Amino acid sequence: MRKIYLLLLIATIGLSSCKKEAKTTPKTFDISGNWKLTSLSTDFINGVQIVATLSNQSTGGYVDHMIFNSDGTGSMTLEGKTIREFKYDVTDSKIHFSSVFYHNGHTLVSERSFMSLITNFAGSELEFTDQIYVYTKENYNGKPYDRFERHISLVKEK
C-alpha cells in the first residue's frame, strides 16, 4: 500500500512541476505612411541554391512609392500614377497584401494576394522580401530557377 501512495505522490509532484508554455504575442509594426523605394535586388533560386543575383537594380519601371494608410489600405505609385491598390495587415513580421488590384492607369488588369517578410524595420527604414514561385522552370542567363526573391528597401518620407 505504501508503494502505491509513494507512486501517487511522485506522479502528483511530477505533474505539478510542469510549466505551461508562455503565450507569445505576435509582433506588430506600424508601417503607415508614404515610403520611397530606395533599392531593389533579386535572387534567382533553384531548389535551395542561389543561381544568380541582380544587385542595385534600377527602380524605374517597377514602383517608386508605396503608401500604407492607417486604415489598412494602400497603393503603389510610379511617376505619380497609381499602378496598384491593395489592402494590408502586418503581423508577426509579415505584411499580408490582399485584394491587390493591378491597373494600367485606367482599367483593372488583374487581382492577387501575397505575403512579404519584413527583414528590417527601424521606424523610418523598411525592408521586406517577396518570394515568388514560377509555374514552370525559368532561365536567367542560361541558369534554371524555380523561384525568385525580391528584396525591397524603402525610406519613410515626411
Can you spell out the DSSP letters for 69-115? Answer: -TTSEEEEEETTEEEEEEEEEEETTEEEEEEEEEESSSSEEEEEEEE
For 38-96, how does the pLDDT look when each residue is reduced to its tens digit (9 = 90+)? Answer: 999 999 999 999 999 998 777 667 789 999 999 999 999 988 888 889 999 998 889 99
Q: Is residue 19 situated within a structural domain? A: no
Determine how many CB atoms are found less than 10 A away from the CB of residue 146: 15
SS3 category, 100: strand
Q: Is the pLDDT of residue 10 over 60?
A: no
Residue 6 lies in a domain: no
Q: Tell me, what's the pLDDT at 113?
A: 80
The reported pLDDT for the residue numbered 118 is 93
Q: What is the mean pLDDT of the chain?
A: 82
The model's pTM: 0.74
**Is residue 49 in a domain?**
yes
Q: What residue numbers bound the domain in which 102 lies? A: 26-157
Q: What are phi and psi of 3, to 5 degrees?
A: -65, -40
Question: What pLDDT is attached to residue 83?
Answer: 87
pLDDT tens digits for 91-141? 888 999 988 887 765 565 667 788 899 999 998 999 999 888 888 888 899
Residue 2 lies in a domain: no
**Spatial CA neighbour of 152 closest among 122, 119, 115, 112:** 119
- Number of compact structural domains in the chain: 1
Grid coordinates representing 152 are 525591397
Give the pLDDT band (50/70/90) at residue 22.
Answer: low
Asked if residue 35 has pLDDT above 70, the reply is: yes
95 within some domain = yes
Give the mean model confidence (pLDDT) for residues 21-26. Answer: 58
**CATH code (residue 118):** 2.40.128.490
